[in-house]
Structure 1
Amino acid sequence: MCFDVPAVSQSTIYTTLCSQAVDPSLPYGSFAHILDELLRLYDNSVWSIRNHISRWEVRRTQEIDYVLLHEIARHGVHVNETLKVAARSLSSIRQHHERSRVEINLVGSKNKRRSWDTVGEHLEFQVRFLEGLAERSQANNARI
């Protein structure tokens, strides 16, 4: 599910998945927990680029460092591309969760239905959060 995830994030994901917070009867619940940690990484990436741009803007009256600008822009483009792919993937997971909810017979258990809906709402929040990060990333690139 995840490639090249920093060791600290791997540990956080592992700890979360091994905790009692993950209900094995809610398959999308695991996705939501993993995505929480991945969203932290995406968030850090977007704001790190913003911080580099802000530092460059403070010094722009000095001689322009085109190599630095190129590196910031290159990383910004990569972050933007990654966010777009992640947003599409997460949106697909969310849609599949919704379709599965309709197909799975949850009528017998009000608590099960409530838990399923809670996961769906969390996935929806994550989609919107990721879309917001993508917009921030585009704004970063426009500033360069």
Structure 2
Amino acid sequence: MQDDVFSTGKQLAPELSQHFQIPGHLLSSAYRRSNGFFTFEESFDQDGHLQTYKTWFRVLVKAVSPNPPGYSWHEMTFCSRWDPQRCIVLCIGVDLAFQHLLQQALSHMWPRLPPSEPLSLHVPLVQAILELHDLSVWCIRDVIRTIEKDRPLSTLGFQDFSIMHETARHAIHSFETLSVSLDTVEVMQQQAIDLSTKDKRGGGGHADASDQTRMHLDSQLRMLRGLFLRSQSNKERLQNEISLAYNLIAQRDSHVMKGLGEAARLDSGALKMIAVVTMAFLPPTFLSAIFSMSFFNFTPGNDGTKAAWSVSDKFWVYWVCAVPLTCLTMAIWYWRQNRSGN
């Protein structure tokens, strides 16, 4: 069924819940929100023959589409019930893409799978899950490869970091769900080994059937481990790309700051020259201002008299006004400096 009634908290049809005997604790919110689990229940008769074998497991896969960029979640839960007469699997939350992959896996693998094995139907299920993880990992890889090839060294901006951030989020989710799927298949593999040991029905044909199931699970497990390493590589490559982008921006900013520092040094030299010229002309300007006032009087010589300088007895007025005004100006400057410093 395509409706994910397990994740949404809806109740399954009573006949389905009764037939697959789903444990009550699996319907709690902790299991409904989990990113994967695997549990089973088995029963044997007095002679040690396997009578029923029931499994319940959950798998999450994040599907990423690079063009246009987007994603969707595959939240799938599977319930299986096996007995010597038949084996039935209930697939919850599987979309059309998974159904197509499962049909392909069944058409290619079912002729070589032993129907009498309790885990025989799990092999094509794992194969379809493997295909979904493969698409997810390689789609993320393609996005990272595009970032690496089209790296805008001189125009790196906010939009580029936003794309890297989104891709990193997808890579982390893919790595997480793939890790859980890997653990789930490892448990299935161990169950296949344990079942072949516990079931005492004997017979070479049954032993060969168990070996075929384990062989398929071993192969799928190795494929998942390879995808796990690829997923880990995606994370590291993307982190390396983000670090490189930060270093390039820091290097670019360093060059800009170096240019600003050089410009400031040139401006400082010009200001220093202006200050020197100002200091050179300040004393003469001060003197010319004083001697231009009416406090001083020069009387040129006339009819044999000598030229003479005279200073007004009111010259003190200049100092009385100039000194307080200068002190007031310095006090205002000092107050403004302290205020701006705070």
Taking structure 2 as the reference length, the TM-score comes to: 0.39
Distance 1:79 1:125 in 2: 21
> Are the counterparts in 2 of residues 45 and 79 from structure 1 also a CA contact under 8 Å?
yes
4+ long deviations beyond 6 Å: none
Match of 1:124?
Answer: 218
RMSD: 2.1
Match of 1:86?
Answer: 181
Q: Deviation digits for residues 35-60 of structure 1, max 9, x if unmatched?
A: 11110110111111110000011111
Which one has the bigger helix percentage? 1
Amino acid at match of 1:96: Q
Distance 1:124 1:20 in 2: 17
Distance 2:101 2:133 in 1: 15
Could you say which structure has the greater relative contact order, defined with CA pairs below 8 angstroms and 6 or more residues apart?
A: 1
Distance 1:78 1:45 in 2: 10
Distance 1:3 1:72 in 2: 28
Match of 2:135?
Answer: 44
Match of 2:118?
Answer: 27
Amino acid at match of 1:136: R
Match of 1:13?
Answer: 102
Cα distance change on mapping 1:113 and 1:9 into 2, 3 Å: same
Q: Which moved further from structure 2: 116-125 or 60-69? A: 60-69
> Are the counterparts in 2 of residues 91 and 127 from structure 1 also a CA contact under 8 Å?
yes
Match of 1:76?
Answer: 171
- Unmatched 5+ stretches in structure 1: none
The percent of aligned pairs where both chains have the same amino acid is 30
In structure 1, which of residues 129, 134, 140 is the aligned counterpart of residue 228 of structure 2? 134
Cα distance change on mapping 1:106 and 1:122 into 2, 3 Å: farther
Q: Which structure would you say has the larger Rg?
A: 2
Distance 2:214 2:138 in 1: 27
Q: Deviation digits for residues 91-135 of structure 1, max 9, x if unmatched?
A: 011101101110112522x12211110110110111111111111
Distance 2:211 2:200 in 1: 13
Q: CA deviation at 1:33?
A: 0.9
- Unmatched 5+ stretches in structure 2: 1-77, 79-90, 239-342
Cα distance change on mapping 1:51 and 1:3 into 2, 3 Å: farther
Which one has the bigger strand percentage? 2
Distance 1:112 1:9 in 2: 30
> Are the counterparts in 2 of residues 106 and 113 from structure 1 also a CA contact under 8 Å?
no
> Are the counterparts in 1 of residues 101 and 131 from structure 2 also a CA contact under 8 Å?
no
